[in-house]
Amino acid sequence: MINCFQFCFNFAFKFNLRRYTEAGLPQAMFDLGCWLDQGAGLAAPDYPAAAEWLRRAADAGVGVTAQNLANMHALGRGRAWPTMPSLTSTTS
């Protein structure tokens, strides 16, 4: 059960999440990326933005973020993987 302090802290954190992400808090970047991936509070998920915030969180050292980002890419959400060169040659 969440006590009053935890509820107030969580509400304040969610309310200021965008400000915290722009200030560079890695955990806030991760949280925002997850919320955008799920479409929390939005009409629809914003996969490219979610992938970008998760990438920033991974670069900042939030370990679990790499798994979330990999799952997004595996499901075809977010930014596309770079194209790989073909293994078969079309020239003779």
| DSSP code string of 20-36 | HHHTT-HHHHHHHHHHH
Asked if residue 39 lies in contact with residue 8, where contact means CB atoms within 8 angstroms, the answer is no
Q: What is the CA radius of gyration of the chain?
A: 17
pLDDT in tens, 23-32: 888 988 888 8
Mean pLDDT of 34-38: 85
Single pTM value for the model: 0.66
Binning pLDDT at 50, 70 and 90, where does residue 1 land? Answer: very low
Domain-embedded: residue 71: yes
Structural domain total, the chain: 1
| Other CB atoms within 10 A of residue 20 CB | 18
**Nearest one of 20, 62, 18, 59 to 42, comparing CA atoms:** 18
Q: From CA 59, how far away is CA 41, in angstroms rounded?
A: 26
Domain-embedded: residue 11: no
Domain-embedded: residue 68: yes
C-alpha dist (Å) from residue 42 to 37, 46, 61, 78: 10, 8, 27, 16
Q: Which domain holds residue 47?
A: 23-80
pLDDT at 9 over 70: no
Domain-embedded: residue 56: yes
